[in-house]
Amino acid sequence: MEPLITDEKPRYARLHGDDENIPENPEALALVQKWKRSFYILLASSLSVIFILFGVGIYSILSLQDCSPSKPGVVIPYSPAPVKYVNKWLTGDPDTKKFMGKPRPELDQAWHDLLDSTLIRYSADELFLANNATSVQHKDGGFVGGLGISHSLHCLKRLKQYIHPEYYYNHETQDWDELYSHADHCLESLRQEILCNADVNIYTLKWTPHSRFKPTVKVPQPHACVDWEALHDWMKGRQARLEDMVGPPESLFEGKDSKEKASAKSAQEG
Ligand SMILES: *[C@@H]1O[C@H](CO)[C@@H](O)[C@H](O)[C@H]1NC(C)=O
């Protein structure tokens, strides 16, 4: 506080700041200093605790971005795909009949619809978040790619076709070695994916008249499944076609004949 500039003698006593109330008595002075020390120690400890809690909070928020609570300690790769879960009894799919049995137009249509929008568009930002990936470019900007599930479904469809070669393949022109290695690749790919996403839901057994030695696997417990309908709708909204892709550079095909070009194209179409 500035003293008033007047001719009068100031009417205020000198200010002592925070020492204002210090008693003159040395014992009381020591006591006050002891309290002050305790106060500063308490203040320092409180601030430390606050900083530590703040740090732990920030760390948790940052690590939550990488790890879901159910997969602690691993990095969950980025994907823009919306994942919602629904409970399902896996044997209760009303569409099962369409996908099973002998080849027929209804079955082919069901598998065709399942693989609708296998190719989808990605923005450059999305691929950057996905471990800075690169992909084939889309003619209208951005990139074209897919989701892991589309590769698995493609493989299942290939295997379904492979067990009905008389219906799906032209026996005159078919490259059987290529067909075999593609089916084998698909089996191996599905094996790895099944292990990767190990289903740990409990299965139970029951005795049936079918056998005295081996019980039957009972209907599994309810599963928490990705909502495929919702995911597929999202994929359909981003659908890309082969014709939308910026093609390969001609230099890739120097010295190769057109048959190889054609088989490279059919491999992409899957
Ligand atoms: C992302 O990839 C591109 C090319 O593939 C590379 O030039 C760039 O340095 C990468 N950026 C980061 C942050 O890794």
260: Cβ–Cβ under 8 A, 6 or more apart, which residues? 253
pLDDT of 263 over the 90 cut? no
With a 6 Å cutoff on the Cβ, whether 134 touches ligand 1 is yes
Q: Which helix (H) or strand (E) holds 206?
A: strand 205-206
Residue 206 Cα to ligand 1 midpoint, Å, equals 56
**CA 240 – CA 143 distance, rounded (Å):** 9
Residue nearest to atom 12 of ligand 1 (CA): 132
The confidence band for 19, taking pLDDT boundaries of 50, 70 and 90, is: very low
**R_g of the chain computed on alpha carbons:** 35
Mean pLDDT computed over 30-38: 79
- Sequence spans of domains, the chain: 95-200+228-247
If you take atom 9 of ligand 1, which residue's CA is the nearest one?
Answer: 132
Nearest CA to ligand 1 atom 14: 132
CA of 127 to the centre of ligand 1 (A): 11
Ligand 1 center to residue 124 CA distance, Å? Answer: 12
Is the pLDDT score of 125 beyond 50?
yes
Ligand 1 neighbourhood includes 87 CB (under 6 angstroms): no
Q: How confident is the model at residue 173 (pLDDT cuts 50, 70, 90)?
A: confident
Does ligand 1 come within 6 angstroms of the Cβ of 79? no
Provide the 3-class DSSP secondary structure of residue 120.
strand
Q: Is 266 helix (H, G, I), strand (E, B) or coil?
A: helix
The verdict on the CB of residue 131 being under 6 Å from ligand 1 is no
**What is the position in ligand 1's atom list of the atom closest to the CA of 134?**
5
- Whether residue 134 contacts residue 169, with contact meaning beta carbons closer than 8 Å, is answered with no
* Among 26-30, 93-97, 203-207, 238-242, the range of highest mean pLDDT: 238-242
Exposure string of 158-168, with b = 16+ CB inside 10 Å and e = fewer, is: bebbbeeeeeb
Q: Is 112 helix (H, G, I), strand (E, B) or coil?
A: helix
More confident residue, 80 or 29: 80
Q: Give the residue-averaged pLDDT of 126-140.
A: 97
What percent of the chain is predicted at pLDDT more than 90? 58
Is the CB of residue 124 below 6 angstroms from any atom belonging to ligand 1? no
In what helix (H) or strand (E) does residue 61 lie, and over which residues does it extend?
helix 26-66
Can you spell out the DSSP letters for 138-198? BTTSSEEE--HHHHHHHHHHHHHHHT-HHHHS-TTT--HHHHHHHHHHHHHHHHHHHHHT-
Between 91 and 211, the more confident residue is 211
In this prediction, residues 230-248 reach a mean pLDDT of 97
Do residues 219 and 89 lie in contact, with contact meaning Cβ atoms separated by under 8 Å?
yes
Across all residues in the chain, what is the average pLDDT?
84
53-112 residue pLDDT tens:
666 565 555 555 544 557 789 999 999 999 999 999 888 788 999 999 999 999 999 999
CA distance 253 to 261: 8
251 Cβ closer than 6 Å to some ligand 1 atom: no
Q: How far apart are CA 261 and CA 126, in angstroms?
A: 30
Nearest residue (by CA) to ligand 1, atom 3, is 132
Please tell me the distance between residue 78's alpha carbon and the centre of ligand 1 in angstroms.
16
